[in-house]
A and B are shown apart, each in its own frame.
Chain A
Amino acid sequence: MPSLTYLEAIRQGIQEEMDRDPSVFCIGEDIGIYGGAFKVTDGLIDRFGSERIIDTPIAESAIVGAAFGAALTGMRPVAEFQFMDFIGCAFNQIVNMVAKAHYRWGAPAPLVIRGPSGGNVHGGPFHSQNPEMYFVHTPGLKVVCPASAYDAKGLIKASIRDNNPVIFFEHKYLYRRIKEEVPAEEYIVPLGKARIAREGQDLSLISYAAMVFVALEAAEILAKEGIEVEVADLRTVSPLDREAIVQTVRKTNKVILLHEDVRTGGIAGEIAAIINEEAFDDLDGPIVRITALDTPVPFSPPQEEYFLPQVSDVVREARRLRAY
């Protein structure tokens, strides 16, 4: 099996879908000759030409507007944002036009909006955010946040094939840090299905994107102390895999929710409510949230480290919950 980085896996997924389906095309800033801010689309213009790898002016609202129009006429656009922090510029297009197309007219809007999000790269407050929850809150959109290279490829392919608009958050910290073997043959990873990244019976850590690796590292340390942690990777934040969430809580009876997004309005609150509704009687301790602080992402490296959840935070909270 070829070994791919997270970034290469996404590129390969897009390329395979463009080979397979002529209605798929890419649109974004500097994605052609330059190959994209992070080089995700590097080389695709040579293969598909400038009619299918379209460079645009710096105008996120126009990118989404053009992609949405194309989607309504039967195309399957993949729109790139240089940083997902700039998605605010296209907010109205996404939540008022794209998300409601199917509700208003029964029209499918099969577009993918993708780009890098997340911190831990000293990018400061405009290049490190996790804006997924604005869209999780908006009915009509799917929100995908892969953690592994395997999932990144399988999920981008599933997102392109999905008839609903999908916002695809790539974690920029993982782009070149994650390298793993990915099957050469065709596969997709279905949207809305979580995976168990590590099995355990003492408590559950539910997370997604880069924090999955923080969870796994903490699980490794805790295993040496005899605490067997189950790590669930949500993969898709909307729709949530409620069944998988409830199942792992039923199994371990104690749960920590971990994410890089800020605390207030983060998905952890929603998951806690689901557990409360569906598995209250299975809880043997309080639901614990570990999240970033309710502040902008700091630029200063020590402050950013303080701001983001760390392995040591997870280990500490897991010990406390285990003893509860």
Chain B
Amino acid sequence: MPTDIVMPQMGESIFEGTITKWLKKPGDKVQRDEPLFEISTDKVDAEIPAPASGVLQEIKVSEGNTVQVNTVVGTIASDGDSATAAPEPSKPSAPAKPAAAAPERKEVAETKPAEPPKQKEMVEPAHEREDEHVRSSPLVRKIAREHDIDLSHIPGTGLGGRITKQDVMAFLEKQASATPAAPAPAPAAPGATSAVPLPKAAPTPAPAPIPGEIVPMTQIRKIIAQRMIESRRTSAHVHNMFEVDVTRIVNLRNKMKGAFEQRYNTRLTFMPFFVRAAIIGLQQFPIINASVEGENLHYHRHINMGIAVALDWGLIVPVVKNAEELNFLGLQRAITDLGERARTKKLVPDEVQGSTFTVTNPGSFGAVFGLPIINQPNVAILGVGGISKAPVVVTDPQGNDSIAIRSLVHLTLGYDHRVVDGAVADQFMALVKKTLENWSEEVG
């Protein structure tokens, strides 16, 4: 009996997902719980394990297509069925549902007349011996995933014909030197080295006037694009900027760093200082920790702190829930943990929703300050610029002025002027500044 493979529900508020990559081809053996395909939802990207062991019989929804949760996207034949299950080239798999939704059964019926399969993966089994098993290694498979190459095309020189690192690197080199000119029947989009697997580029109809490559946006990029425009359209963005003297915090961190790391086995960064200062400010000015719901204001009881994390393939905002209940160490641990898991795609959907305020850190690459866009449905976002030393006029208690070298940071608050007025935003920032400049909390 074949087992249906369904689009899983990756969180309560998720209703659909996009298949970004099939990791197996029809006819491949699969083990239960082995990664079978990759999906992208509007919250996270994830690898989905096989629901059963056997042979991947059919792919019903091909890469790049979006379907509702619980839609059957393919089937696995148990080992007993596998001999008959190998797909024949003439029998097309049901091509993808075009994002929206028509009842699945109807579609299958409509596509009976053999429409040539579009996806490279679907054609291959015809050229391949059915039971062919490509021998490789975890490293080779990783490189193949990253460069979107099919290992069955690579001759292996290792023991028993195993594909080695050297084999796959040589193949890539050859491919890179061979491809650039030929436009039409190129085997795959060779330039697409992004970590997120891309659907194959359709052959370009007319030669583009400007030379280059046309690559479809990844799912995450589409979502970011949509969210950014939506936020600009929704909120009346205003920014203020405060210069904050963080010499005290820089010194404190330098002093504590080694012992902190040794004691807690986690790095001591600047981020929790800024987050903690923001929390203190938000507790004083609850309107900044609110959201707009129709004609109402929703003042949130808890502070769910969104932390923007830059990824090689985009941007994600994991959330520290009930951040006001965490002490400094707890904040540091939560921030480090979410950041690391964001980078390794280990976040679960509930961890990237429900923020009530967001902190972003344009300074990590050296920007003096940024003018961040509000993360909807928040009403404000704190941007932390780079920390740098500068000469500053300081006044002693007697009123004497002198010039000193101090560590400064520029904080910006992007706020929604529909509900947050300048006076409130400035008072909030003044409190953040005061908290940071007179830091007195226990660090660890």
Contacts and interface: CB of A to CB of B under 8 A. Distances in A.
Interface in B145-167: 158-159, 162, 164-165
B315 interface: no
Interface string A33-54: 0000000000000000000000
B256 interface: no
Given A253-B137, A253-B139, A283-B137, 16 more contacts: A253-B165, A280-B138, A281-B138, A281-B141, A281-B142, A282-B138, A283-B138, A283-B139, A284-B137, A284-B139, A284-B140, A284-B165, A323-B158, A323-B159, A324-B159, A324-B164
A282 B138 CA distance: 6
27 contacts: A253-B137, A253-B139, A253-B165, A280-B138, A281-B138, A281-B139, A281-B141, A281-B142, A282-B138, A282-B139, A282-B142, A283-B137, A283-B138, A283-B139, A284-B137, A284-B138, A284-B139, A284-B140, A284-B164, A284-B165, A285-B137, A323-B158, A323-B159, A324-B158, A324-B159, A324-B162, A324-B164
A253 B140 CA distance: 10
Interface of A: 253, 280-285, 323-324
B3 to A, nearest CB: 27
5 pairs of A and B residues whose beta carbons are closest in the complex: A284-B139, A281-B142, A284-B165, A284-B137, A283-B138
Contacts of A324: 158-159, 162, 164
B134 to A, nearest CB: 15
Contacts of A280: 138
A283 B137 CA distance: 7
Contacts of A253: 137, 139, 165
Contacts, number: 27
Could you tell me the dominant secondary structure of chain B's interface residues? helix
Could you tell me the dominant secondary structure of chain A's interface residues? loop
A282 B139 CA distance: 5
A280 B165 CA distance: 14
Contacts of B138: 280-284
Contacts of B139: 253, 281-284
Nearest to A283: B138
A316 to B, nearest CB: 14
Nearest to B136: A284
B147 to A, nearest CB: 14
A283 B165 CA distance: 9
Nearest to B166: A284
B346 to A, nearest CB: 14
A253 B158 CA distance: 14
A282 B158 CA distance: 17
Residue of A282, A284, A285, A323 with highest tally of chain B CB at under 10 A: A284
A117 to B, nearest CB: 29
Nearest to A280: B138
Contacts of B158: 323-324
A301 to B, nearest CB: 36
B158 to A, nearest CB: 6
Residue of A281, A282, A323, A324 with highest tally of chain B CB at under 10 A: A281
Contacts of B141: 281
B324 to A, nearest CB: 31
Nearest to B142: A281
Nearest to B137: A284
Contacts of A284: 137-140, 164-165
Contacts of B159: 323-324
Contacts of B137: 253, 283-285
A283 B142 CA distance: 10
Contacts of B165: 253, 284
A285 B158 CA distance: 10
Contacts of A323: 158-159
A236 to B, nearest CB: 15
A284 B169 CA distance: 12
A67 B56 CA distance: 65
A317 to B, nearest CB: 13
A284 B138 CA distance: 6
Nearest to B145: A281
A323 B162 CA distance: 10
A145 to B, nearest CB: 22
Contacts of A283: 137-139
Nearest to B157: A323
Nearest to A281: B142
A283 B136 CA distance: 10
A190 to B, nearest CB: 12
A323 B137 CA distance: 13
